[in-house]
Amino acid sequence: MLFDLGAEICRQAEANHDLEAPNGAPNVYGLCVDPDAKYPAQSWARNELCAEMAGQVLAATETTSSALAFIYYELAKSPTLQQQLLQELMTADTDEELESLKLLDSCIKEGLRFRPPVALTGSRLVPLGGLEVCGHYLPEGTVITTQSLSMSRQRPDLFPDYDTYNPQRWLQEDGKSAERKRLLVPFGVGSRRCPGGNMAVYQMRMILYHTIRAFDIRPAPQTTPEKMEPFEANGYRSRHDRCDLMFLPRARGSAHSRIENAY
């Protein structure tokens, strides 16, 4: 099914090959088949190209939706936190102001720390001669990777309640805040960092901004803590692979009064 999606993307891209984007920007398919690209992939077999296109779509959609599902669930469980976030969101009049909203940013950071949609970063090979890491010798040629979930859970001095969704931790300005931020690596680090990381955060800001302002979010009766217990499958998903929530329209013009009544 996923491969069929990749094949369909290739067919659509080829059918629209002569059409230029309004802003002149290239698309991913075009970059993969461009003979003048820095790393041309025109030697790929057809099935390899289709698999790459399917992977690009999966990486750009499934990860963001999984992260948002857990963030929505945590906000639905905590009406007070949701109201605090709503109050902050009501101070922004345009999408361009979202980057300065600290609680919104903290809710996203904590969601990516608490339930990262991608558990493992890209794998690497230990170089010739082997490598010693924290007193452990790794032979050359060993495939290694890092796991973003473990980063905070191995430092209870920085994350004392590491198994709790607590966005407030990212609002603390103390001697440990810089180290906390350094251990938040949901997109990896370095030259192989996920190229779509910034886009994903931007999308989450936009989606949360518009949905929280428009809807009061509550857990559906069938969405229990047991069903939302996560399991790891190179990322975190709910135990029953779904997150049913109720999105109740907010009364027009009543957001500010509802916030005041919440305190």
DSSP string, the chain: -HHHHHHHHHHHHHHTTTPPPTT-PPPHHHHHH-TTSSS--TTS-HHHHHHHHHHHHHHHHHHHHHHHHHHHHHHHH-HHHHHHHHHHHTT--SGGGGGG-HHHHHHHHHHHHHS-S--B---EEPPTT-EEETTEEE-TT-EE--BHHHHHHT-TTT-TTTTS--GGGGG--STTHHHHHHT--TT--GGGS-TTHHHHHHHHHHHHHHHHHHEEEEE-TT--TTTT-EEESSSEEETTS---EEEEEPPTT-HHHHHHHT-
User: Would you say residue 62 has pLDDT above 80?
Assistant: yes
Query: What's the one-letter identity of residue 214?
Result: A
7-54 pLDDT tens trace = 998 888 888 877 776 776 777 888 788 777 666 556 778 888 888 888
Residue ranges of the domains in the chain? 69-261
- pTM value? 0.81
CATH 1.10.3720.10 fits 69-261, yes or no: no
Q: Give pLDDT, residue 132.
A: 93
In contact, 75 and 212? CB cutoff 8 Å = yes
Q: Give pLDDT, residue 260.
A: 36
Please work out, in degrees rounded to the nearest 5, the angle formed at the alpha carbon of residue 33 by the alpha carbons of 30 and 38: 95
User: Would you say residue 254 has pLDDT above 60?
Assistant: no
Residue that wins the pLDDT comparison between 71 and 118: 71
User: Would you say residue 240 has pLDDT above 70?
Assistant: no
* Residue-averaged pLDDT of the chain: 85
Structure tokens that stand for 233 in this block: 């499958």
Residue that wins the pLDDT comparison between 27 and 141: 141
187-217 pLDDT tens trace = 888 877 888 899 999 999 999 999 999 999 9
In contact, 129 and 140? CB cutoff 8 Å = yes
Please work out, in degrees rounded to the nearest 5, the angle formed at the alpha carbon of residue 115 by the alpha carbons of 111 and 121: 105
The answer to whether 194 is a known ligand-binding residue is: yes
